[in-house]
Structures are given as C-alpha cells and as structure tokens.
Structure 1
C-alpha cells in the first residue's frame, strides 16, 4: 500500500474545504432564489449542455450523478415550477427532450452570475481547474 505524505493530506483537506465552502455558498445563493442546489444544477446542465439546448433524462442523470428515477422526480418538480418542460423529439418520437423555459433561463443566469466571484477564487487557487 502506498503511503500519502502529510502534504498530500493537507492538500486534500484544503481542496475539500474549498470545495465545500463553494457548495455551501452556492446553496445559500440558490435558496435566496427559491431553488434547491439540485434544481439549480439541473438548470445549469441544461443551459451548459454541449451543442444543443436540451438534454435527455439519461444525460441529465449522468451530469447530476443521480439515479434515473431521482432525476425524473427532480424534472417533475422543476416542471411544476415552470422552469423546464418535456418535449417529444422531432427526430425520434421515443425520445423525450428536457428544455429550459424562459423562467428557468432567467434564474440560471442570475444564479450563475452570483457564482462568478467564488468561481474566480477557486480558479486562482486551483489553476488546473480552468
């Protein structure tokens, strides 16, 4: 078994502290907008999805590192709040696309903007994260 040095433990501890501080700050921002952190992450992943403006439930489950049924329940809650909607794919009627609605887009942009100072701080602390 390989041994970790005291510095390895200090680096890992510092990283986890900064990551948790970012998460806690994010939770506070989301709460001030009436969302949970997971609801915000769903909106963020939809807004930031590569090469298109929607995602499937499976793709969102992967991004959220969540079980399929938990992602479905999260989408249901966001749909009830008027943040996202399900649409049948024009290309494949078996596929359901999850789209961000105007209210969701406004919220995700406002919340993401409030994350900029802390994100900049993290990027300065961990240049490899850029």
Structure 2
C-alpha cells in the first residue's frame, strides 16, 4: 500500500471542498432561474452532446446516471417549464430527440456563463496543490 502524505490529504480536501462549492454554486444558480438542479443538468446533457444540439432520452439518463423512466419524468417537467421540446428522429421513429427551446438555450447560456467563471476561480485556487 502506498503511503499517503499529509500534503496528499490536504490536496484531497481542497479538491473535495472545491467540488462541493462548485456544485452548490450551480444548484443555487439553477434555482435562481426557476429550475431544479436536475433540470439544469438535463439542459446541459442536451447541449453537451458532441456534434449535435439534441439528445436521446437514453443519453440524458446516462449523463445524469438515472434510470430511463426517471429521465422521462424529468424531461416531462422540463417540457412543462418550457425549456425543452421533443420530436421523433426522422430516420428512426423509435428514437425521441430532446432539444432546447429558445427559452432553454437562453437559460443555459446564462447559467453556463456564470458556472464557467466560477469553475475558473476554483481551478485557479487549486493550482497550488
């Protein structure tokens, strides 16, 4: 077993504290714009898909580490909030594409701008470790 130094413990604590601080910051931001933190994560899961601006329900479930039926309920609530819309994939009718509405894009842009600034601050703090 590798010996862990006091400095290692301090680095782990600093990282864990920064991570919790970031999560708390993003959760507060989502609530401030009328979304739950999970709804904000849905928006990010949609826009974060490589090379496209939509996601399948399965991809959202995977990104959020939740079951498919839980993702469906969460997407339903996002749709009721006016931030996402659903449509069938034109090439595979079994697949439902979830994409952001203009309102969803605006909300995600504002949240992500603030979150990236906070992440930079925390990254700068952690550079000493």
Give the TM-score, by structure 2 length: 0.89
Structure 1: unaligned runs, 5 residues or longer: none
Q: Secondary structure at the match of 1:40?
A: helix
Number of aligned residues: 127
TM-score of the aligned structures, taking structure 1 as reference length = 0.88
Displacement after TM superposition at 1:4 (Å): 2.8
Q: Deviation string for 1:69-92 (max 9, x for gaps)?
A: 221111010011111111111001
Q: How far apart in 2 are the matches of 1:80 and 1:55?
A: 18
* Greater RCO, CA 8 A, separation 6+: 2
**Cα deviation digits, residues 7-66 of structure 1 (max 9, x gap):** 222211111100001111111111110111111111012122111111111111111122
Cα separation, partners in 2 of 1:58 and 1:126, compared to 1, 3 Å: farther
Query: In the alignment, what sits opposite 1:106?
Result: 106
Structure 2 CA distance, aligned partners of 1:102 and 1:112?
15
d(CA) in 1 for partners of 2:123, 2:14: 14
Q: Which residue of 2 aligns with 1:34?
A: 34
Segments of 5+ residues of structure 2 without an aligned counterpart are none
